[in-house]
Amino acid sequence: MATITRRSLRLAVGIAAAAVAVTSLTACGSSGDDAGSDTFTILQYENPESAQGQGWQLALELFQKKHPDVKVDFQTTSFDAMRQNAKITLTGDNVPDVIEFNKGNADGGQLAGQGLLTPLNDQVKKYGWDKKVTGAMQAFAQYNEQGLAGSGDWYGVPNIGEYVMYYYNKDLWAKAGITEEPTTLEEFEGIMDKLLAAGITPISSSASTSQGFNQMWIWYSLVAAEADRTSIDDFMFLREPVDFSKAPWKDAADRFQSWIDKGYVGDELGGLNFEQATVNFLSGDKAMLIWNQGEFARIREQATFEWDYFTLPGANMQMGSSGHLWGVPANAKNKELAYDWIDITLSEEVQNKIGQLGGLPLAGDASTIDDDLTREYTERFNELLDADSLAFYPDYPVPGFLDFIQSNMQAMSNKNETADEYTDKLQKFYDDGRETALAG
């Protein structure tokens, strides 16, 4: 059973920006490092107020000092825009020099398999990145010739880890007579029953087909609760066929449908995205929010009520993964500068800055975090990582999976699709995608 955290922006997997914003600045560092373009272009999608976003600003300052004659074009796009336009963005001669991209077979694997990214094996060895990015955090940095994660060449480098928890409003819990965090899934459901009886929606959720991630995360967290390392890795890395009509998949889908039917996640979710779910939680109207560290700093700053968080009780595994990846386009003109940029983002200064803000750095030192809550929060991630109990995210294995899952999450949330109908569709979509991926 997973340990329950006792203590009471990176916005949503880096999906914060709704439109492209471009900032150009002149960097301070040595000239002549590259024989390429006079402008070094960085393309990323972190919100500037998030832990990573603030970390990147420090990285820019350090890059400036090292490269004073290099002009930097620091571009911010959205997660969706990057996913949808990545192939176009990386094709041709006019490409960014370093990019942030989504991990997994469906995104990073496709880019690697299509030859749009530069293999980083030599740089990993030169800079020692594999000594900072270790264990399960390497899984989605490497892709084979078929674009499948878990082995092969390094094509990306993550900077942070992620794990998913339930943030909760202590005031609303107290109103419903709840004084302690749950230690089992059954106790958790009992808490949600008490909240409903008090007229309080237990979980603030969303099910839009565009960034309505909350329902997907609730469903998959229930899968992870009953899963083990082998079943997750078979699913995630296409190692062995998966039967979605059996546990943990069927049990999770059935339980998820019961949560919808009981009203645990509210109603009319089809038009809500993750940002609206977060706002509804921060408004004080709904008792809990499922999310990762992306909302940690924001909730600390904006919540007008006492709050805390816990990982799903009684679960074998918890949703979580490495963060998104820095990569170097195959046609980038300033590759040496790109490698230096990646190395700076993994530096002690930047990593500890991210850690102080609750961003779960992969190469930071948790003992240097001043705030008790933030330090314990980071130590909880390290526990999950050491126990090898992170279940990753469900949309990684095959192309188009995120759109497929979100569409069916919306249908289930609107009660237009049953758990059995969903798992039947899931089986076909996954099997078709798996067959195509393995065929190369």
pLDDT digits (tens, 9 = 90+) for 268-311: 999 999 999 999 999 999 999 999 988 888 898 899 999 999 99
- pLDDT mean over 1-7: 33
CA-nearest of 284, 258, 283, 271 to 214 is: 271
313 domain-assigned: yes
pTM of the model: 0.82
Task: Give the residue-averaged pLDDT of 230-235.
Answer: 96
Both 306 and 331 in a single domain?
Answer: no
- 146 closest CA partner among 346, 345, 398, 431: 398
Q: Average pLDDT, stretch 50-65?
A: 94
pLDDT for res 297: 81
Same domain, 101 and 131: yes
Do 293 and 377 fall within a single domain? Answer: no
For residues 140 and 182, membership in a common domain is answered with no
Q: What is the mean pLDDT of residues 59-75?
A: 96
Q: Of 283, 317, 351, which marks where a domain is finished?
A: 317
Do 104 and 190 reside in the same domain of the chain? no
Which of 199, 376, 128 minimizes the C-alpha distance to 366? 376
Looking at the structure of the chain, the number of domains it has is: 2
**Using a CB cutoff of 8 Å and minimum separation of 24, what contacts does 83-91 make?**
83/107, 83/402, 86/111, 86/116, 87/111, 87/114, 87/116, 89/43, 90/116, 90/117, 90/329, 90/330, 90/331, 91/116, 91/331
pLDDT at residue number 331: 97
Structure tokens at 244: 């979605």
Using DSSP, state whether 334 is helix, strand or coil: coil
Question: Is 412 contained in some domain?
Answer: no
pLDDT greater at residue 18 or residue 382: 382
> What pLDDT, on a 0 to 100 scale, did the predictor assign at position 54?
93
Question: Does 201 have pLDDT greater than 80?
Answer: yes
Q: pLDDT tens for residues 245-261?
A: 999 999 999 999 999 99
Last residue of a domain, one of 317, 335, 365: 317
Overall average pLDDT of the 111-121 stretch:
96
Question: Are residues 268 and 377 part of one domain?
Answer: no
**Where a domain ends, among 386, 403, 424?**
386
pLDDT at 404 over 50: yes
**Structural domain contains residue 273:** yes
Is residue 61 located within the same domain as residue 134? yes
pLDDT of residue 1: 33
| Position 1 in a domain | no
Domain shared by 103 and 153, yes or no: yes
Overall average pLDDT of the 402-415 stretch: 96
Based on the fold, state whether residues 127 and 29 are members of the same structural domain.
Answer: yes
The predicted pLDDT at position 3 comes to 32
Q: Which domain holds residue 189?
A: 175-317
DSSP string, 427-439: HHHHHHHHHHHHH
In a domain, residue 416? The reply is no
Q: Are strands 201-204 and 286-291 parallel, antiparallel or unpaired?
A: parallel
Evaluate whether residue 5 is within a structural domain: no
Q: Output the DSSP codes for 157-189.
A: EE-BEEE-EEEEEHHHHHHTT--S--SSHHHHH
Domain of 372, CATH number, reads: 3.40.190.10
> Per-residue confidence at 9, pLDDT binned at 50, 70, 90?
very low
Residues 361-369: contacts with CB within 8 Å, 24+ apart? 361/55, 361/159, 361/160, 361/161, 362/132, 362/133, 362/134, 362/137, 362/158, 362/159, 362/160, 362/161, 362/322, 362/323, 363/132, 363/133, 363/159
pLDDT in tens, 327-336: 999 999 999 9
- Is residue 248, in this structure, part of any structural domain at all? yes
Q: Which residue has the tokens 């059995």?
A: 420
pLDDT value at residue 56: 95
Mean pLDDT of the chain: 90
- What pLDDT does residue 100 have? 97
Instruction: State the pLDDT at residue 106.
Output: 87
Write the pLDDT tens digit of every residue in 126-181.
999 999 999 899 999 999 998 999 999 999 999 999 999 999 999 999 999 999 99
Residues 313 and 328 in one domain: no
The reply to whether 209 and 224 lie within a common domain is yes
Q: What is the mean pLDDT of residues 55-68?
A: 96
Residue-level pLDDT at 369: 95
pLDDT confidence of residue 33: 41
The reported pLDDT for the residue numbered 37 is: 59
Of the pLDDT bands very low, low, confident and very high (cuts 50, 70, 90), residue 29 is very low
Considering the domain boundaries, does residue 4 fall inside one?
no
Share of the chain above pLDDT 70, in %: 92
Both 292 and 223 in a single domain?
Answer: yes
